[in-house]
A and B are shown apart, each in its own frame.
Chain A
Amino acid sequence: MGIGLSAQGVNMNRLPGWDKHSYGYHGDDGHSFCSSGTGQPYGPTFTTGDVIGCCVNLINNTCFYTKNGHSLGIAFTDLPPNLYPTVGLQTPGEVVDANFGQHPFVFDIEDYMREWRTKIQAQIDRFPIGDREGEWQTMIQKMVSSYLVHHGYCATAEAFARSTDQTVLEELASIKNRQRIQKLVLAGRMGEAIETTQQLYPSLLERNPNLLFALKVRQFIEMVNGTDSEVRCLGGHSPKSQDSYPVSPRSFSSPSMSPSHGMNIHNLATGKGSSTHFSGFESSCSNGVISNKAHQSYCHSKHTTTSLNVPELNNINVSRSQQVNSYSSNDVDMETDHYSNGVAETSSNGFLNGSSKHDHEMEECDTEMEVDSSQLRRQLCGGSQAAIERMIHFGRELQAMSEQLRRECGKNTANKKMLKDAFSLLAYSDPWSSPVGNQLDPIQREPVCSVLNSAILETHNLPKQPPLALAMGQASQCLGLMARSGIGSCAFATVEDYLH
């Protein structure tokens, strides 16, 4: 009996190891056969009742065998990729039980993997950095500082810059402005956010009608939610009331994101599994191996998930910023059409004025405030009839704006879907628990906030993404690429491990 590995197309009528691209350990003489008819003394002989394990290490491309749980030492080095587990039987009546991990292995594979995980992590930790003194540190400090500035933590950024002897690239006032806008968005006060943006960066939204549209759709959603300044005032809330949404750093692993990328990973993992063989340790160690492709796919999910986790998430960020990008590249076309922008502006001015008009009614609603301030009882637009009317009116304006955009810039499926989803909220008596209810989740403000922030930064010729996020994205992409190229060490490295 011979136990080993073969590439695709190797003659199945001969013991593994005898032919080119096949490798085997034979029970009768205990020799190892490395693509050759003559074996090398390797280990003990094996016979009925023995449990033989075969483990391929995809990090250093070696293979070792185990007998009854005892490692016999390296048998083959420099193995090629894409090998299938193979068992060759020569004697009539021979029987083999194969275990691909459905039962616990006799050999402690977990312990072996622990060792390699620490090895890889030590390799990362000890990676040689910058030859010139202080260069590395300065770079790291710049990354941290730019991240703080990007997300508008001006006090922290200032303190950090002071203690590390750096200059902040952006003016403090500018950071504060962005921070103000972000706070408004994250608090769901979209109307105020749009207004403030237009005041501080007059041409920004003019040049980005799609961004403006996105902001307004969000504003509509916040109206349904009862959080937008206009309806809050109608519903009896003070427009100046404290933000209910705590401003948090734009975390790149925010929990709200996980459902979507989790699903992607699953698809990717299974897709990958069928195309590659032996993508991780899990699949490669088996006691008594039999060529069986079906077994291999499930083994991939573990390490593919970990390695693709972040790239997926990053894709979302990238694609969103690209959206913004592509619209801004349309600027040339749009500048011929100042009029349309003007309309958009007036319309928003219109309801801004409206809101100021409603300010008087604030006092009248004071009595209802106690009741409505509790968000526990979720009611459309905070339960105020006036607010609902305002919301419906705003919806019509939004519809008009959408149509106008389509006329001027052509069809835009993303915009169309965005609007449709937002309007769908009205189709349910309780929008919050409806299938489209997740739009109302405060966490959905984050992408909008991020896109607006990036757009503002771009007008200052600052990167739309902080270098730290970029580096992380690159690292994740790199891990994904390693996985696709069959470089095994990526199984033991994830970006998350270093985000503490």
Chain B
Amino acid sequence: MASCVLEAPLRMSVLSEVTASSRHYVDRLFDLDPQKVLQGVMLLYLLQQETSSTELRTECAVVLGSLAMGTENNVKSLLDCHIIPALLQGLLSPDLKFIEACLRCLRTIFISPVTPEDLLYTDATVISHLMALLSRSRYTQEYICQIFSHCCKGPDHQTILFNHGAVQNIAHLLVSTSYKVRMQALKCFSVLAFENPQVSMTLVNVSVDGELLPQIFVKMLQRDKPIEMQLTSAKCLTSMCRAGAIRTDDSCIVLKTLPCLVRMCSKERLLEERVEGAETLAYLIETDVELQRIASITDHLIVMLADYFKYPSSVSAITDIKRLDHDLKHAHELRQAAFKLYASLGANDEDIRKKIIETENMMDRIVNGLSESSIKVRLAAVRCLHSLSRSVQQLRTSFQDHAVWKPLMKVLQNAPNEMLVVASSTLCNLLLEFSPSKEPILESGAIELLCSLTQSENLALRVNGIWALMNMAFQAEQKIKSDILRGLSTEQLFQLLSDSDVNVLMKTLGLLRNLLSTRPHIDHIMSTHGKQIMQAVTLILEGEHNIEVKEQTLCILANIADGTTAKELIMTNDDILQKIKYYMSHSNAKLQLAAMFCISNLIWNEEEGSQERQDKLRDIGIVDILHKLSQSSDPNLCDKAKTALQQYLA
């Protein structure tokens, strides 16, 4: 044993040279042959021996790092041997060379897709120790930043790193003399700030050598900097802008970040860069119409994006198999990125939507996208369609010409929630009364589908389902209304009316109101569902709800009062009559007005039985209130009350 240890350093250094250059040898080390796997275990054993010399342990770490650079199976085997704790232990050594070797190996392992990021966060002391090692050398800086940027996935990781002072510890590395350190530090910030307002708001006030971070990022955006650096700093600035840390009209966004991201979409860039550029730009401009307008005129972006759909190109298929493979790999990513960006571009401005749809074969591309195998592309295509469906003109023209409702209905079948949310939102727009798609969508069984959405656990889906039904019921024929009521069932209707979400409640009331319009419809529905509806109305008027909900409910009552036979359901319900009387004297003018509508409809002269109704209402004291209201300072109320009183005079 002793002689073995003595000889080891020599053999190790030879081995490390061999492994780095010869994959064959590395792979053989992890042969199925247990004898050979043993070598890796041996290295780990030697690494952990406190009694081994530092040189030997360093060599072990180097060799293990080389092994980790092999196939994914290598990394898996190393993980199985618990290499991470062993290497983390090594970081406690006082020897810098040994620490660097361990970090380098850790870096290689953590950037492998087979390594779970959470392994970094199992021990809280690890992060603070890594932060402390950041000051040791440019290599520790490079490797640690790289580990952080690969292992920071989601808000939990961001918060851990942030709470350990990542921002302060890494900020000064942005001005390091080493390009690699600068780049890895920049990447760290791009993942730390991504969709994280807390980090983003902090970054904006941090300064290094008297220069604020946004200024440093802007310098890294310059057109002579490497593309990777431009793109990553644009991502940082985008996150900061979306978090509200930088205003959307700040020149560093409008004149620097946005044009840089548009350039990343150009044909000159690599496919990966174009995907990332388009996605980041889509995120940057998503909610700001001015940025959408600027992007839409910059460097022919809308036309430029059309090129994203041309992969794999016919040329690449013939000339170059390697290129075809590369194109195929990125084709889906390119398409979904383009759809996302089109969706953002067309989110608010009608002229931009028009320009997008006028782009060559745009509608065909969306329609094709809706039925692609990749769910990412389908989702992005639906987003794009949703954005464009906000245009009245497009709904009437290109949407109709291309029968987009067909693939859309197909997407809605058995889709995951994320997709359903966007698709049903789009359907809402397609069901607006002026949309020519409304009819065919109804015929293809939309009612059933939408009714099932209202039962979803997912709030957004419930809202969209009931919203779409509401749109569908607007000025619809009797049959559709009956179908909706039947499809929804009264129990479900009540369920929705007691939904905890006010949006769902409002849309349900809206649906009821749309259902209860035009006299024959009112009478018909009330004859079948009168009892339940009156119950529901009572319930809501008694419940704790905001003004809008109550107003909407009173409007439903007013509609019911407009029916011929339906009127009686109110007149025979003393409880409801008392409630109407109460709201006529409410402090809110809107509610008073809505209640007045009910009364007007009930006492209108020309209708049968008006005399009895007038008498009954006088008996419960309505006329006195009307007299009071006719003196009201609110002209609407005053007018309405006077007209009502005239009915009594006639």
Please give the residue numbers on chain A whose beta carbons come within 8 Å of chain B beta carbons, in ascending order. 43-44, 67, 69-74, 108, 111-112, 114-115, 117-118
Residues of A within 8 A of B224 (CB): 114-115, 117-118
Indicate with 1 or 0, residue by residue over B420-455, a CB within 8 angstroms of chain A CB atoms: 000000000000000000000000000000000000
Indicate with 1 or 0, residue by residue over B201-227, a CB within 8 angstroms of chain A CB atoms: 000000000000000000000111000
Please provide the 9 A-B residue pairs with the shortest distance between their CB atoms, ordered closest to farther: A115-B223, A73-B300, A114-B224, A73-B299, A118-B224, A44-B297, A111-B223, A70-B298, A114-B223
**Contact across chains for A108 and B299 when beta carbons are under 8 A apart:** no
Interchain nearest-CB distance for A123 vs B (Å): 14
The A interface, classified by DSSP as helix, strand, loop or mixed, is mixed
- State in angstroms the CA–CA spacing of A67 and B259 once bound together: 13
Residues of B within 8 A of A112 (CB): 223
- State in angstroms the CA–CA spacing of A111 and B219 once bound together: 10
- State in angstroms the CA–CA spacing of A201 and B405 once bound together: 99
Q: Which of B232-283 contact A (CB under 8 A)?
A: 255-256, 259
Residues of A within 8 A of B223 (CB): 111-112, 114-115, 118
> For the complex, is B415 an interface residue (Cβ under 8 Å from A)?
no
Q: Which of B279-308 contact A (CB under 8 A)?
A: 294, 297-300, 304
- State in angstroms the CA–CA spacing of A112 and B259 once bound together: 11
Residues of A within 8 A of B256 (CB): 108
Interchain nearest-CB distance for B259 vs A (Å): 6
**Contact across chains for B294 and A114 when beta carbons are under 8 A apart:** no
**Contact across chains for B255 and A108 when beta carbons are under 8 A apart:** yes
Interchain nearest-CB distance for B584 vs A (Å): 55
Residues of A within 8 A of B259 (CB): 70-71
**Contact across chains for A72 and B300 when beta carbons are under 8 A apart:** yes
Interchain nearest-CB distance for A65 vs B (Å): 10
Interchain nearest-CB distance for B292 vs A (Å): 13
Q: List 5 A-B contacts (CB under 8 A).
A: A44-B297, A71-B259, A73-B299, A108-B255, A111-B223
**Contact across chains for A111 and B222 when beta carbons are under 8 A apart:** yes
Nearest-neighbor residue (CB-CB) of A117 within chain B: B224
* Cβ 8 A contact of B297, one of A43, A74, A115: A43
Could you say which of A70, A108, A111 has the most chain B C-beta atoms within 10 Å of its C-beta? Answer: A70
Could you say which interface size class chain B belongs to?
10 to 19
**Contact across chains for B255 and A71 when beta carbons are under 8 A apart:** no
Nearest-neighbor residue (CB-CB) of A108 within chain B: B255
Indicate with 1 or 0, residue by residue over B127-156, a CB within 8 angstroms of chain A CB atoms: 000000000000000000000000000000
- State in angstroms the CA–CA spacing of A210 and B508 once bound together: 110
Nearest-neighbor residue (CB-CB) of B296 within chain A: A44
Residues of A within 8 A of B294 (CB): 70
Residues of B within 8 A of A69 (CB): 255
Residues of B within 8 A of A108 (CB): 255-256
* Cβ 8 A contact of B298, one of A72, A111, A115: A72
- 9 additional contacts (CB under 8 A) given A70-B259, A72-B297, A114-B224: A69-B255, A70-B297, A72-B299, A72-B300, A73-B298, A73-B304, A108-B255, A111-B222, A115-B223
Q: Which of B329-387 contact A (CB under 8 A)?
A: none
Residues of B within 8 A of A118 (CB): 223-224
- State in angstroms the CA–CA spacing of A108 and B263 once bound together: 14
Residues of B within 8 A of A115 (CB): 223-224
Could you say which of B256, B259, B300, B304 has the most chain A C-beta atoms within 10 Å of its C-beta? Answer: B300
Nearest-neighbor residue (CB-CB) of A118 within chain B: B224
- State in angstroms the CA–CA spacing of A44 and B296 once bound together: 10
Residues of B within 8 A of A73 (CB): 298-300, 304
Interchain nearest-CB distance for B301 vs A (Å): 8
Interchain nearest-CB distance for A402 vs B (Å): 57
- State in angstroms the CA–CA spacing of A159 and B436 once bound together: 88
- State in angstroms the CA–CA spacing of A112 and B263 once bound together: 11
- State in angstroms the CA–CA spacing of A214 and B357 once bound together: 81
- State in angstroms the CA–CA spacing of A114 and B260 once bound together: 14
Residues of B within 8 A of A117 (CB): 224
Residues of A within 8 A of B297 (CB): 43-44, 67, 70, 72
Interchain nearest-CB distance for A41 vs B (Å): 9
Interchain nearest-CB distance for A316 vs B (Å): 34
Interchain nearest-CB distance for A73 vs B (Å): 4
Nearest-neighbor residue (CB-CB) of B301 within chain A: A73
- State in angstroms the CA–CA spacing of A74 and B304 once bound together: 12
Nearest-neighbor residue (CB-CB) of B221 within chain A: A111
Residues of B within 8 A of A67 (CB): 297
- State in angstroms the CA–CA spacing of A472 and B259 once bound together: 39
- State in angstroms the CA–CA spacing of A207 and B386 once bound together: 93
Residues of B within 8 A of A74 (CB): 300
Residues of B within 8 A of A70 (CB): 255, 259, 294, 297-298
Q: Which of B38-59 contact A (CB under 8 A)?
A: none
Residues of B within 8 A of A44 (CB): 297
- State in angstroms the CA–CA spacing of A44 and B297 once bound together: 7
- State in angstroms the CA–CA spacing of A74 and B300 once bound together: 8
**Contact across chains for A71 and B298 when beta carbons are under 8 A apart:** yes
Residues of A within 8 A of B255 (CB): 69-70, 108
Nearest-neighbor residue (CB-CB) of A68 within chain B: B294
- State in angstroms the CA–CA spacing of A112 and B256 once bound together: 12
Interchain nearest-CB distance for B418 vs A (Å): 34
Interchain nearest-CB distance for B273 vs A (Å): 15
- State in angstroms the CA–CA spacing of A71 and B259 once bound together: 8
- State in angstroms the CA–CA spacing of A72 and B300 once bound together: 6
Residues of A within 8 A of B299 (CB): 71-73
- State in angstroms the CA–CA spacing of A112 and B255 once bound together: 12
- State in angstroms the CA–CA spacing of A74 and B294 once bound together: 16
Could you say which of A43, A73, A108, A112 has the most chain B C-beta atoms within 10 Å of its C-beta? Answer: A73
Nearest-neighbor residue (CB-CB) of A115 within chain B: B223
- State in angstroms the CA–CA spacing of A115 and B224 once bound together: 5
Residues of A within 8 A of B298 (CB): 70-73
- State in angstroms the CA–CA spacing of A194 and B78 once bound together: 78
- State in angstroms the CA–CA spacing of A111 and B222 once bound together: 6
Could you say which of A71, A72, A74 has the most chain B C-beta atoms within 10 Å of its C-beta? Answer: A71
Could you say which of A72, A111, A114 has the most chain B C-beta atoms within 10 Å of its C-beta? Answer: A111
- State in angstroms the CA–CA spacing of A44 and B301 once bound together: 13
Interchain nearest-CB distance for A25 vs B (Å): 12
Nearest-neighbor residue (CB-CB) of A119 within chain B: B224
* Cβ 8 A contact of B222, one of A43, A72, A114: A114
Interchain nearest-CB distance for B76 vs A (Å): 39
- State in angstroms the CA–CA spacing of A108 and B298 once bound together: 14
- State in angstroms the CA–CA spacing of A47 and B398 once bound together: 31
Nearest-neighbor residue (CB-CB) of B262 within chain A: A71
- State in angstroms the CA–CA spacing of A74 and B299 once bound together: 7
- State in angstroms the CA–CA spacing of A114 and B294 once bound together: 23
Interchain nearest-CB distance for B37 vs A (Å): 42
Nearest-neighbor residue (CB-CB) of A114 within chain B: B224
- State in angstroms the CA–CA spacing of A111 and B299 once bound together: 16
Residues of B within 8 A of A111 (CB): 222-223
Residues of B within 8 A of A71 (CB): 259, 298-299
Residues of A within 8 A of B222 (CB): 111, 114
Interchain nearest-CB distance for A290 vs B (Å): 24
Interchain nearest-CB distance for B518 vs A (Å): 47
Interchain nearest-CB distance for A399 vs B (Å): 61
Nearest-neighbor residue (CB-CB) of A64 within chain B: B299
Nearest-neighbor residue (CB-CB) of A106 within chain B: B255
- State in angstroms the CA–CA spacing of A105 and B299 once bound together: 18
- State in angstroms the CA–CA spacing of A43 and B303 once bound together: 12
Nearest-neighbor residue (CB-CB) of B299 within chain A: A73
Nearest-neighbor residue (CB-CB) of A67 within chain B: B297
Interchain nearest-CB distance for A229 vs B (Å): 51
Nearest-neighbor residue (CB-CB) of B260 within chain A: A111
- State in angstroms the CA–CA spacing of A466 and B411 once bound together: 75
Nearest-neighbor residue (CB-CB) of A72 within chain B: B297
Nearest-neighbor residue (CB-CB) of A112 within chain B: B223
- State in angstroms the CA–CA spacing of A113 and B227 once bound together: 16
Interchain nearest-CB distance for B157 vs A (Å): 35
- State in angstroms the CA–CA spacing of A111 and B300 once bound together: 19
Nearest-neighbor residue (CB-CB) of B355 within chain A: A41
Residues of B within 8 A of A72 (CB): 297-300
Interchain nearest-CB distance for A281 vs B (Å): 13
- State in angstroms the CA–CA spacing of A117 and B223 once bound together: 10
